[in-house]
Amino acid sequence: MKHWKLLLFMVLAVIGTLFTAIGCGGSSNNVASGTSARITIVWPERTRLIPLAANAVRITLSNAENNYTQLVTRDAASGSNTSKIQFSNVVVGDYTVTATAFPGSDGSGIAQATGATTITIVQGQTTDFTVTMDSTVTQLDVSGATNLTVNVPSSLTVSSKNAAGDLVLVDPSQLRWTAGSNLTVQGGSTATGSTVSVIASALGNTSVNVQYIEPGAGPSRTVNLAVNDQIGVQLDPLNSTPVPGATVDYTATVVNGTNPNVTWEVTGGATIVSSTGTTARVKMPNYPGTVTVKATSVQDTSKSNTATATVTSNISVAVSPTTASRQVNQSITVTATVTNGSLDNTVTWAVTGGASITSSNGTSATVRMPATTGSVNITARSVQDTTKTAVCGVSVTTATGGASGTVRSPK
């Protein structure tokens, strides 16, 4: 299966200047109307695609207050190798931009490649993004703390880039980390992934190396690490892959300090359900994406640790029937089936075309057609993953037939 991974390079390039737009929750002081984010996706020639290659890309803009997501399919290219989408009503601020490639055109299947970068939305300017599936990794950048505390896990994240400095999306299994002396990476001497946890077991200096290993021997990067006995924050779990809507319990431990308490922050659409000075229960958003959970020492606010949760979903929704025909004012009952909804197998319902829902529950809905002919769409949307839907299309026709006969007067 490894050979198809060679085709899954994707580059997310932030080009041009940055922009601003109105967004939910924004005010007149930090938004400006009439502007938007323009995103161009360049797909490879179909002859280069093989089964399991990427047919959809989910792009997410997120920060602590806002989250914007769009799924772009290859079919949107409309006969060309270019797709264009637009984000409207985006609030000014700093955002993490995450792009993830999926094999299914509906965003289903296991994510094949992913990457992230940061942008700043600045008032009165415009940002253009270009995502292309044909690029070569020439350099690796590593972010995260380089000053470690003994026996305190810390996260390091690698960004793969091309010669132009654009972010390249790669299969995380092709990023190999090798630990230096007195250091473990993901609990061992080697590991793979775009984000890993490192732990130093002794004071002094050490290092970690990361290499892009496919195709062939790709570029590598060595990061020098200093290990000391300063205050540090342990955070568990440091990396996780929950499903949409799940809750994850986090525990923070302050080492080399006299105050054990931390403060908590989350991004990516997550919410803190409950928290203490050392624990937090975090609810993941009802859609795929990347969430960060940050614990900051109360005693020394310059010391913190950040956990990453990659929210993944294989949920799909199907309706029956998928198409139908009804006369004006007639009714139809549609049922929905949710697959892989581990936390919630129900849906919500919505209709268009002047129809009305007369009764519904989490698995079925009865819909009355309008008094005029036309088309009606009945949409079932997963409660657990609100990006997954299915639609029943109904053609509304005129009434036919009727009663006939002679009315006789009584004698």
When the pLDDT of each residue in the chain is averaged and rounded to a whole number, the result is 80
- Same fold for the domain at 2-132 and the one at 139-158+169-228? yes
Residue type present at position 132:
T
Residue 393: how many other CB atoms lie within 10 Å: 16
pLDDT level of residue 407 (50, 70, 90 thresholds): very low
Residue 128: how many other CB atoms lie within 10 Å: 15
Q: Which CATH number fits domain 316-397: 2.60.130.10, 2.60.40.1080, 3.30.70.1380, 2.60.40.3120?
A: 2.60.40.1080
Chain-centroid distance, C-alpha 75? 20
pLDDT for residue 309 is more than 90:
yes
* Overall fold of domain 232-311: Immunoglobulin-like (2.60.40)
pLDDT for residue 56 is more than 70:
yes
- Calculate the dihedral angle through the C-alpha atoms of 338, 339, 343, 346, rounding to the nearest 10 degrees: 10
pLDDT level of residue 61 (50, 70, 90 thresholds): confident
The residues spanned by each domain of the chain are 2-132, 139-158+169-228, 232-311, 316-397
Phi, psi of 22 (to 5 degrees): -65, 145
Residue 204: how many other CB atoms lie within 10 Å: 12
pLDDT at position 37 is: 63
HSE value, Cβ hemisphere, 13 Å, CA-based, for 261: 6
Longest dimension (CA), the chain: 116
pLDDT level of residue 86 (50, 70, 90 thresholds): confident
Burial class of residue 361, CB neighbours in 10 A (0-12, 13-18, 19+): exposed
pLDDT for residue 16 is more than 90:
no
Give the lowest-confidence range in 53-67, 168-182, 233-247, 360-374: 53-67
pLDDT at position 107 is: 75
Compute the residue count for the chain. 411
pLDDT for residue 45 is more than 60:
no
Burial class of residue 72, CB neighbours in 10 A (0-12, 13-18, 19+): buried
pLDDT for residue 207 is more than 80:
yes
Q: Which of 170-174, 265-269, 347-351 has the highest mean pLDDT?
A: 347-351
pLDDT for residue 346 is more than 60:
yes
Query: In what order do the strands lie in the sheet containing 374-382?
Result: 323-327, 389-397, 374-382, 347-351
pLDDT for residue 83 is more than 90:
no
Q: Is there a contact between 172 and 249 (Cβ–Cβ < 8 Å)?
A: no
Phi, psi of 163 (to 5 degrees): -65, -25
* Overall fold of domain 139-158+169-228: Immunoglobulin-like (2.60.40)
pLDDT at position 17 is: 30
Chain-centroid distance, C-alpha 89? 19
Predicted model pTM: 0.62
- Determine the Cα–Cα distance for residues 89 and 36; give it in Å rounded to an integer: 7
* Overall fold of domain 2-132: Immunoglobulin-like (2.60.40)
Query: Sign (positive/negative) of CA torsion 357, 361, 365, 366?
Result: negative
Q: Is there a contact between 331 and 359 (Cβ–Cβ < 8 Å)?
A: no
Q: Which of 88-102, 138-152, 254-268 has the highest mean pLDDT?
A: 254-268
| Tokens found for residue 319 | 């309706």
pLDDT level of residue 160 (50, 70, 90 thresholds): confident
Percent of the chain with pLDDT over 90: 43
Contacts of 75 (CB under 8 A, 6+ apart): 105
Give the lowest-confidence range in 61-65, 79-83, 176-180: 79-83
Asked whether the bond before 410 is cis by omega within 30 degrees of 0, the reply is no
The neighbouring-strand residues paired with 83 are 41
| Tokens found for residue 320 | 């029956």
